[in-house]
Structures are given as C-alpha cells and as structure tokens.
Chain A
Amino acid sequence: MLKQTEGSHGVAEAVALCRPEVICAYPISPQTHIVEALGEMVKGGELKNCEFINVESEFAAMSVAIGASAAGARAYTATASQGLLFMVEAVYNASGLGLPIVMTVANRAIGAPINIWNDHTDAMSQRDCGWIQLYAETNQEALDLHIQAFRLGEELSLPVMVCMDGFILTHAYERMDIPTQEQVDAFLPPYEPRQVLDPREPVSIGAMVGPEAFTEVRYLAHAKQLQALDLIPRIAGEFKTVFGRDSGGLVRPYRTEDAQTIIVGLGSMLGTIKDTVDELREEGVKIGVLGVTSFRPFPLAAVRDALKNAQRVVVMEKALAVGIGGILSTNVRMALSGIHLHGYTVIGGLGGRAVTKAALHRVFRQAIHDQLEPVHFLDLDWNMVNKELERERQKRRSGPIAENILRDVGMVAAKIG
C-alpha cells in the first residue's frame, strides 16, 4: 500500500512484517524513530510474538541480539555513529559466530568533533567486521533491503547491516509502498537456524580456535561473503517477482552504456548525482552513474564490468580514510586492477554538509576535463583551513581546532544550504 510517511516509520513497518522475535536497542539519533515505532508496535500488540528489550548500552544491545539469535530467534537492532563503535567487539562476534542478526545503521558521523549529522564514517569503520553491508538509495529501498536482509542473512547464517543515511532518509517523509504480510510471508520463510542453543540437543557456540584452524574458520567467513555475491542478485530477482519492483542487488548502473565518465557512489547521494548527470547528458556529456548497493561483499566483477569501458571514474565518498583519502575508491581501484583509466576521489557530505547539485556540476565538469585533483574535498572552505594552519604556525599553544574554527565561523543559525 502506498503511504506518505517518514523513512524510519517505513523501515519499522518493514521490520515488523518480517516477524522479528527479539528487538533490542539503545536510543541514538538518527536511528531512534525506528526502534521507537517498533517498541510501540510490540506494546500495542500489533507486532505479536516479539520481545522488545530495553538495554543499557549499544554493547548490551548487540550482546542481547547475539544471545537471542543463538537461541534461534529472529533478532533485530538498530544503531548509529558512536553507538556502533561502542558495540564493535560484539559486532565482530556476531559475524564471527555466524548469527544472522539484522541491524539498521542510520549513518551518522563519528566524533570528535561531536556531530550528529549524516555521513558514512560509522558503517565504513565496520567494513571489515564480517557483516554484509547494504546501502539504501531511497526510503523505499531501505524498506525493501530490510526484508531482503533477513532472507539473505538467514540463508547464509551471516549478519546483515542495512545502511541508510541518517536524517536525509530516516527523517524524510516520502512515498513508500508498504508490502502486505502475505507478500512478506511468501518471500521470507520462518527462521531455520544452522546452529541453535537448544537444551534438547545441547551444543556450545563460541569455541576458542588456535592457529591450527583459525585461518580456515576465517576463510569460511570470507567464502560465505563470496556466496553472497551470487545470492544477493538472486534474492533481488525473487523480491521483484513477489513485490514487483527492483530493489537491492549488487550494483545499479544508470546511463552507463556509452559513458566516458562514470560516477560511483553509495546511499542517498545517488539521487542528487543522477539529477546532475541527467542535466549533463542534456548538454551531450557522456556521463553515467554506478550505485553500489552491496559494499560487503564488494562486487569486484560487477564493478569492473560496469566501469571497464569508461575513460574516467569519479568516486563520491561520504567518509574519509584519514591519511589516504577514499574508502570506496580503494575498493573500486581493486576492481579495476590492470585497467588504465583516470580515477578521482571526491570526499563530500561529511558531518551533514549538503551535497548540492551545484557542487556536483562543478566537480564533474572538472573531472571531465581531467582537471580534478586525485583526492578532492567537495566545497572545502580553504579560508577556514588556512586560517587555522596559520594560527598553528604562529603560536605553539594554538588551542583546540574545533573551537578555533567555530569562533572564526560565528553564528551558523542563519545558514540554509
């Protein structure tokens, strides 16, 4: 049913339709509306056979999810930013143990400086933790990816992170098609665990493994992610059969057929990128977009296939690998091993800075003329940067950078863009 609602509420409805049995979460913006809505559904009796557990921290949230999943329950949680970092040890355990927990990450920056706004630094910090990571472009896709995530995770016995841009998606009201319970039931069978803590057939889960077999256990985790490369498109295909729309999959090419320049990106930024690309196409520029939905496993072959005929690739990143530049672009580079083309990394949208069409036009034009530096910071205010650098040159005790810069910037309430 079509509904105009908040992204968080749409996702909460999708999760509820997946019949979770345990939901545990600790509130943190911008994820909070999702678990609040689920909490209300459990309390109101709409979501039956589900226990909502309030926990004292994110570390506890993931630990409870691990316990619930190991006991054979379909488990869900959601977090963001510092919350994700706080649960990291348990995050690695969930994947290492092969427990198919589904977790929403409402992407938000990581401090310091503390910042509640959107970027991808939180989820990107967990790119190697062994979870599958899917990135939603729209709220409809966020909703759909959650339904696919339970199916995917449970088939592989691996946890899945569904990443959706905090605020930009979670707090946006837009049209979503909410499926029926019958559709979701037809697509998602009841959870049949590979391993379960069952007193009738006792096992232990979580053995210590020494050098004699650790590599093999880790390789099997990698092998499962490689299996996901086949399973993700298959599940997206089945999803289309049941729900009638394209959602998920590994990558999504847009106007790439004859494109000399291809922009690669993740998440909600893709919409603004596509609008910009359409305008450039009208001017006759051969430019296209490659959206990456599955960041883990990273679809090396699909990315290579989509980019191999281009002359240049611009990778847009909402995260910064301090000391090198891009994260997504490093992965894209690996996909392009042996192929010679111009590669650019554009870091933008950090800590909630708007990624505007005007800024994208500017960098795409520079890229088309191969005038872009290898790592470019979108809309970086050099005056602000240079002022602080000068301060540091002038004075040993130059003081805290964030506070210095805020003093330079002054009141920010007046700014709209």
Chain B
Amino acid sequence: MFQVRIHGRGGQGVVTAAEMLSVAAFLEGRHAQAFPSFGSERTGAPVVAFCRIDTREIRLREPIMQPDALIIQDPTLLHQVDVFSGLKRDGYMLINTNRSFDALGLGDFVKEFRHERLLTVPATELALKHIGRPLPNAVLLGGFAAISGMISLDSVLAAIRERFTGKVAEGNIAAATEAYKFVLEEEKEAESHA
C-alpha cells in the first residue's frame, strides 16, 4: 500500500487533489481511498487530505500517520503544522515553493532522506501561468507522477478532465504537464551533479 498525505490551506483544493489522485489510481485499475481531515475546511485554515493506493481492497480507515509521500501545497505551513510527521525515510516529498530547501531552512532536515525523492516545485507560479489562479493542487499531482512513478501523467490528466471542464481543465492539464517535465528535468540535473 502506498500512502500520500497532502497539506495545504482551505481554498487550495487539498481535498480535491486527494480525490483526483484516487481517481487517477482507479483509472489504472488499482484500489484507492481518498478522504479529508474533516471539519477544518475553512478558507485559509490548515487542511490535510489523504490518499491510499493499493492493488487490493483498502479496509484501513485511520488517518495516514506514516506517509510514503507528502505533498505540501503551502510552504507557510512548515512552521505552523507538523507536516513532516511520520514521513518514511525512503519517502517522497514535494513542496510548492520557488525557494530551495536550504532557503526554507530545511537543508539539514532533507539530508535524513533520499535527496532525489524530495523536491521543491514552483506550483503556484505554474498555476498562475496556465490557470490564471494560484491553485497548485493539480499541478503538484503532475509533479508527484514524475517524482514517484506511482501514477502516470496520463492518469493524472484524465482525473483532471473528470473533475474539471473547459478552460479550467485545459489550464490544469498544461500546468500539471509542465510540473511533470520540471520534476524530470530537476532529477536529471541532480543526477548529473551526483
């Protein structure tokens, strides 16, 4: 079972991201369970959503306390919420920011993990460019597909199409695709320095 925890703020589409990720996994023939941390969905308030992916039926219904992957949609949460709680040593992490881990003060923290699995992505910028609104959720799913290989970009795009229509869908698809390419490029670059 692969478990993803998504952190963000009310209004950023945290719950929608978890739901779309579950749809993407479903489209690949897998079982998936997405659910929000209930009750706190107010604009601007810290929100957590979860997604489990497995090849068999998922019966477990506890919150995800030891995620295989973290998606952090809002870097201002880093000092407010214990977003890293329980992240596995070989886990994946994407943070929406145009700053580096060092600039975020996380340089030492990320050394405890596999560096090629942790990345910052300027998802808000990509969202503004393609969607015209600062909605990083679907964008980061594109990045997640690239970094984790858990899900294909095509499935993410299909899940976006299932959720949105028209210009919103097109914008999210373009932004998610660019985030996917961005992550692959970053990984290639990291490899060449290694």
Contact = CB atoms under 8 A, between A and B. Distances in A.
Nearest to B34: A173
A173 B38 contact: no
A268 interface: yes
B191 to A, nearest CB: 33
Given A271-B60, A272-B59, A413-B40, A172 B65 contact: no
B8 to A, nearest CB: 13
B45 A168 contact: no
Given A2-B26, A173-B22, 16 more contacts: A117-B38, A117-B39, A167-B36, A167-B38, A172-B61, A173-B19, A173-B35, A174-B31, A268-B61, A271-B58, A274-B59, A352-B38, A354-B62, A355-B61, A356-B63, A414-B80
Nearest to B45: A413
**Chain A binding site: helix, strand, loop or mixed by DSSP?**
loop
Given A4-B26, A413-B46, A171 B36 contact: yes
B23 interface: yes
Interface of B: 5, 18-19, 22-23, 26-27, 31-40, 45-46, 48, 58-63, 65, 80-82, 85-86
Nearest to A139: B33
Interface string A387-412: 00000000000000000000000000
Nearest to A276: B60
B33 A417 contact: no
A175 interface: yes
16 contacts: A4-B32, A138-B59, A167-B36, A168-B61, A173-B22, A173-B33, A173-B34, A174-B34, A175-B31, A268-B61, A272-B61, A275-B60, A355-B61, A413-B46, A414-B80, A415-B82
Contacts of A119: none
A166 to B, nearest CB: 8
Interface string A361-401: 00000000000000000000000000000000000000000
Interface in A143-175: 167-168, 171-175
B39 A116 contact: yes
Contact of A173 (B23, B81, B86): B23
Interface string A116-131: 1110000000000000
